[in-house]
Chain A
Amino acid sequence: MSVKLTTRQVGDVTVIDAVGRITLGEGSSTFRDMIRDMAAAGNKKLLLNLGEVSYIDSSGIGELVSGFTTVTNHGGNLKLLNLTKRVKDLLQITKLYTVFEVHDDEAAAVRSFS
């Protein structure tokens, strides 16, 4: 299943709930387009909930990085929430755990943007 993305607001933080696989093709392009549009629209506090993301390949990782850069360049911040063990391992292997701020609790994640 390609990734499905929905958004909701928690205060001034936009939470993006992702479900499925973020892989080369439709999955990664869907993600890229949403982040780009969010950043361009002025959303500066983005929290990406990956709790239901079963699989990310290197292309998906690339889009996470690209999204992070895009949001940062717009003066905002993109953080990650609820990583599965496999995604966490992937971020460790790629050393991206040192780049992204990762949270296991949504309330704490939202507070961290303050």
Chain B
Amino acid sequence: MADHSNGGTHDVDKFFDSSLESVDAAEELVIEIAKSTGFDEDAVHELGMAVREAMVNAVVHGNRYSLKQKVHFKVGAGPDRITVSIRDEGEGFEPQAVADPLEQGNLLKQSGRGIMLIQAFVDEVNIQRAQPRGTEVVMTKILNRA
């Protein structure tokens, strides 16, 4: 697993295998960074959940657990925010094509809530096709000072 950490103390730039263990590792990593940055317990939890959901999408739907495809995981921590980028090497998808899980007819569907939860738990989200392939999710959580 390549690690190209650079920049700030908490900055991370690494490639994860497409596995559930990587999902756990990414979540734990961002939780530690969020705690160090000074996020409160609820914000740490929310960011961790958003990262978990994006990692699951990358591993399961993007890379389909492929041993050959990696998840590029980057974290940039500033004094008042953390930005996380998660990029898979899959086929890519159109976010607008994802069914709204809050529509009455979709409430009892078993899946399809990941993107909605990411949007609920962080302050800024951008999901776009990556070049030459895959999907990149960039999310930012802003520190709320008392």
Contact = CB atoms under 8 A, between A and B. Distances in A.
A99 interface: yes
A61 B106 CA distance: 13
Interface string A24-48: 1100000000000000000000000
A7 interface: no
A62 B23 contact: no
A23 B52 contact: yes
Contacts of B102: 94-95
A24 B56 CA distance: 8
A94 B108 contact: no
A83 B4 CA distance: 41
A58 B53 contact: yes
A74 interface: no
B52 A93 contact: no
B120 interface: yes
Nearest to A25: B20
B60 A24 contact: yes
Chain A interface SS verdict (over half): helix
A95 B107 contact: yes
Interface string B112-128: 01101100100000000
A63 B116 CA distance: 17
Interface in A63-92: 63, 65-66, 68-69, 86, 90
**Interface range on chain A (Cβ under 8 Å from partner):** 20 to 34
Contact of A93 (B20, B110, B120): B120
A96 interface: yes
Interface string B18-50: 001001000000000000000000000100010
Interface in A9-33: 23-25
Nearest to A63: B110
Contacts of A66: 110
Given A58-B113, A61-B113, A99 B108 contact: yes
13 contacts: A24-B23, A58-B113, A62-B113, A63-B110, A66-B110, A68-B108, A90-B117, A93-B117, A93-B120, A94-B102, A94-B116, A94-B117, A99-B107
Given A62-B109, A66-B110, 13 more contacts: A25-B20, A57-B53, A58-B111, A58-B113, A59-B56, A63-B110, A65-B108, A65-B109, A86-B45, A94-B101, A94-B117, A95-B107, A96-B107
Interface of B: 20, 23, 45, 49, 52-53, 56, 60, 101-102, 107-111, 113-114, 116-117, 120
